[in-house]
Amino acid sequence: MASLQTATEVLEQSFLEIRAKLLEIGASLDRIERAEDSSHLKNDPRLAQISRSIEILNEDGFDRAERIQQVFSDSYDPNWNS
């Protein structure tokens, strides 16, 4: 069941939504930066996850969502049960 829409149609439908979500992320990061104790957060692992995810957005491919999920996931050890 591949997409029935052309890339142009998808972009038409999602452009304003993408723009709004990017603004929301920008404003949220600004809000963190403006808050008083922001310097304490420099080494917070969650900010590193956010920053790695933003890099992924700029990479090619059609598995960006999956790769961002991996950024926010605990690692799995295949030998966990042995």
Please report, as ranges, the residues that interact with other proteins according to CB under 8 A: 1-5, 13, 62-63, 65-66, 69-70, 72-76, 78, 80-81
From CA 48, how far away is CA 1, in angstroms rounded? Answer: 36
Q: Which is nearer to other proteins, 34 or 80 (CB)?
A: 80
Task: Tell me the closest approach of the beta carbon of residue 30 to other proteins, in angstroms.
Answer: 21
Q: How many residues does the chain have?
A: 82
In 1-82, alpha helices (H)? 7-34, 45-57, 64-71
Output the smallest distance, CB 70 to other proteins, in A.
6
